[in-house]
Amino acid sequence: MESNGRKRKTLLELQNVSKVFKKDGSDVLVLKDIDLTVDEGEFICVLGPTGCGKSVTLQIVAGLIDQTNGSVILDGKEEHGPGPHKGMVFQEYALLPWRSVVENVEIGLELKGIGRKERRRIALEQLATVGLAGTETQKVHEISVGMRQRVAIARALANSPRILLMDEPFEALDALTKEEMQIQILNVWEKTGTTIMFVTHDVDEAIFLSDRICVMDINPGRVKKMLVNHLPRPRHECMSRTDKEFNDMRDEIIALYSSLKDEELDLII
């Protein structure tokens, strides 16, 4: 696939992935035959209403849970289990409150056995990438929630992941901070070239961020449509609701959910 003028190769492939959970003694099909490819360097958003299986999909890619059927292939190799090459960023940033900002970014590097000096060098570099240079000695409880989420992103980046997996990371933030973080993550993506798979149930967020949007359906969770996002970057200006291209894309997504009942349509639109 060619996007933004760059030739790309496939990084991640989900082939026929399904997931069955036991619920009250019976089997529930939560994900059905997910086929999905993500290109190297791509920003892909997975969009769908609450309960459609976005988090389960991301956790399968992360290796945190096993699929019932199908394969997850990264860099041409079948994946089993978690690893630092798949950096996870959650809504709850899971930082250690008693540690300083830089010590939190160093956690994964410590686990890998990287020496103190090198650890610090990498951590400071990644803090600069997320716009937090100069905050390294602050304690996590002293900084804002938006900054904490940036620390979590820097921590994932410090492991040089092949792919950054983000599960509704900005959901708990107020509108203004959310917007700042969306711009920040695009900066990080442009600076690092890291492939990003970003889960959201916010239609505007998916349109603002993505190269492509994997629109999911519910009951069972499945891919409804893969949309290519042709909106030019940077998008700050064209994201106004009066912009035609933006509205067309929005309308296209909303129309995809026209068959859902109101109570199922749990999307931010």
Ligand X SMILES: Nc1ncnc2c1ncn2[C@@H]1O[C@H](COP(=O)(O)OP(=O)(O)O)[C@@H](O)[C@H]1O
Residue that has been written with the tokens 């009066």 in this structure? 242
Residues listed for the chain:
269
Pattern of binders to ligand X over 18-47, x per CB under 6 A?
A: ---x-x------x-----------------
Name which position in 6, 9, 35, 50 contacts ligand X (CB under 6 A): 50
| Shortest separation between residue 212's beta carbon and ligand X, angstroms | 18
Pattern of binders to Mg ion over 66-105, x per CB under 5 A?
A: ----------------------------------------
Q: Does 220 bind ligand X (CB under 6 A)?
A: no
* Residues of this chain, 43-62, that bind Mg ion according to CB under 5 A: 55
- CA-based max dimension of the chain: 57
Residue nearest ligand X by beta-carbon distance: 55
**Whether the bond into 84 is cis, omega within 30 of 0:** no
List, in sequence order, every beta strand (DSSP E) within the chain: 2-3, 6-7, 10-23, 26-39, 43-47, 69-74, 77-78, 86-89, 163-167, 195-200, 212-217, 222-228
Would you say 50 or 137 has its CB closer to ligand X? 50
Whole-angstrom CA distances from 91 to 168, 198, 200, 256 are 6, 11, 11, 26
* Residues of this chain, 54-93, that bind ligand X according to CB under 6 A: 54-56
Beta bridge partners of residue 197, listed in sequence order:
44, 165
Would you say 151 or 165 has its CB closer to ligand X? 165
Q: Does 51 bind ligand X (CB under 6 A)?
A: yes
Give me the residues that bind ligand X (CB under 6 A), please. Answer: 21, 23, 30, 48, 50-56, 221
